[in-house]
Amino acid sequence: MAGNEWTLAGWEKRPFCAAIARCSKRFEVVGCPKVRLLGVASKAELAVSRPGSIAVATVAGPGLINPIVVVSIYAPWERPVPYDEHGWIYADASAHRLISDLSALVSTQSMHRIIVAGDWNILHGYGELGSPYWGQRYQTVFDRMEAIGFKYAGPTQPNGIAADPRPVELPNWLAGIDVPTYRTLPTNPASGQRQLDFVFVSRSIADAITVRALNGPDEWGPSDHCRIEIKVQF
C-alpha cells in the first residue's frame, strides 16, 4: 500500500485498515481483484464503498486445485446524524456496506470459493444486554451473508474457550457456541465477554474449513481482539 491507504476512510481518524499478508513462500498471494473506490473502479476491479474496510487477495499453491479468494474486513462503528457523542453507536450499517461490496465477488450461485473474516463489531444471535431490537438488526447481517451463498463458519466452541464468567446477556442456547474474541482489557482474560469476529465461507468449500479462536490465556496476542486461525484442508 502507499500514500494514505493504511487508513480507514471517514471523518474519524483511524490509522489502520483491513489487510492481507503472505506468511509463507509456499503459496502465491496476489492482490486480485484490485480494490478501488466506488465511482473510480473499472469493471475489472472491486468497487468498494469505504476504502480501508476491505482487502482482497487470491491464494494459489500446493494442495489447492483451484485458487481461493480471501477477504479481510473491518466494520467500523458509526453514529447517527446529527452527531451526539453520548448517543448510541452501531456497526451493522458498515457490515451491510461490506456485504454489498462482497456481492461483486459472487459470480455464481454455488461455485465461488471465498473466505471472509474480520471484525464485524456485531453480536451473534442476540443484542447488547439482551436487546431484541439490536438482536434483530445484527441477525440481518448473518441472514444476508447466508442469502448470497456464504456459511457462517465460526469460530465456535470447542474451537475456542468459552467466556468465563459467562456473560449474563448471553442467551442459554449460545452458552455452548459463542467464544469471546474481544477483551475490554487486553491483559485481563475475564474481560473477554463478547464475540465480535466472525468467519464466513463459500458453501462449496465449507466442509474443508476449520476455524478456531486463539483466545486462550497464552495465545491471545497483543491486541484487544484475539487471533483467528483458519485451516483449509482439501
- The confidence score (pLDDT) of residue 4 equals 55
* CATH class of the 28-232 domain in this structure: alpha beta
Half-sphere exposure of 195 (CA within 13 A, CB side): 29
- The confidence score (pLDDT) of residue 86 equals 85
Return the closest-CA partner of residue 20 out of 4, 35, 10, 36. Answer: 35
- The confidence score (pLDDT) of residue 1 equals 42
Q: Which helix (H) or strand (E) holds 101?
A: helix 92-102
Mean pLDDT, the chain cut into blocks of 10 residues (234 residues total): 71 94 92 94 95 96 90 96 90 98 88 95 97 98 97 98 94 96 93 97 96 95 96 88
On whether the CB atoms of residues 77 and 87 are closer than 8 A, the answer is no
Q: Where are the domains of the chain?
A: 28-232
Sign of the alpha-carbon torsion through 223, 155, 14, 136: negative
On whether the CB atoms of residues 209 and 152 are closer than 8 A, the answer is no
The angle formed by the CA atoms of residues 115, 96 and 153, to the nearest 5 degrees, is: 30
What is the maximum span of the chain, computed from C-alpha positions, in angstroms? 52
Cell numbers placing 191: 474481560
Return the closest-CA partner of residue 69 out of 175, 150, 11, 142. Answer: 150
